[in-house]
Amino acid sequence: MIRTIYILWLRQIKRYLRSRSRLVGSLGQPLLFLVALGYGFGPVFQKAGQGNYLEFLAPGVIAMSILFTAIFSGIEIIWDKQFGFLKETLVAPVSRFNIMIGRTLGGATVATLQGIIVFFISIAAGFRPANLTLLPVALLIMMLTALLFTAMGTAIASLLEDMQGFQMVMNFLVMPIFFLSGALFPLEGLPGAIDIVASLNPLTYGVDGLRGALTGQIHIGFFNDFAVLFAVTALFMVIGSYLFSKIEI
């Protein structure tokens, strides 16, 4: 069991490290957000009495990078379906649950590494963590967020058969998750409907926890952030495992 999970985890990481174009391309959007929004809206944010916008924005951009990398790792399941690689894996004498866990852990590790890289890019852009002793807390939140959305991507990809269907679902799911998470704007004083949607959005708790650990600005609280992230991650792990076990070969 452990050997199977380890092999699949290592395979996901090797895929990521071998794809240099994927690595470079995935950093373009976070860099654009940090420079264009961080410096573009910075003066407006400061005039509104909210402080340094780059410090506010950086945790949200880190969470965005993790979200995109984690949830799009599900594309690899569809790719493997179409080219027969998944069939070779599923006919092996190992539990499908172990296969799903290994792939999910691998995708989550890649997404966490991506978040760490964006964190250092943020520092190069001018961001400074408020409390270095809380960096392990930030890393834990990044890992939980990555695991949550990798499991979600796996669950969705297990239901679909082609790339086009996955991309359509992601466009209707990923962008609202990101924009309604408080990554780009404060959660205080939101209209009622948006406030309710944001409170139901699991990324909101990842962004809030990251912002609290990196800047000291927290809206919901660490306890609630961790409780929701743990609960929703466990839920999607169960759902993803069930749906993955039902894939027909």
- Structure tokens that stand for 81 in this block: 């379906």
213: left (phi over 0), alpha (psi -120 to 50) or beta: alpha
Reported as a single tens digit per residue, the pLDDT across 15-67 is 666 665 556 666 777 777 787 777 776 666 666 556 678 888 889 999 988 99
pLDDT at residue 146, as a whole number: 93
CB-based burial, 146-182: b 16+ in 10 Å, e otherwise: bbbbbbbbbbbbbebeeeeebeebbeeebeebbebbb
Tell the burial category of 126 from Cβ atoms under 10 Å away from its Cβ (0-12, 13-18, 19+).
middle
What share of the chain in percent tops pLDDT 70? Answer: 76
- What pTM value is reported for the model? 0.87
Question: What is the average pLDDT score of the chain?
Answer: 80
Provide the pLDDT for residue 17: 62
In terms of Cβ atoms closer than 10 Å to its own Cβ (0-12, 13-18, 19+), residue 24 is exposed
145's CB contacts (< 8 A; 6+ apart) are 63, 66, 67, 70, 111, 115, 203, 206, 210, 229
* Helices of type H across 126-162: 135-159
* Model confidence band, residue 88 (pLDDT cutoffs 50, 70, 90): low
167-196 tens-digit pLDDT: 777 678 888 898 888 888 888 877 778 888
Confidence of residue 248 (pLDDT cuts 50, 70, 90): low
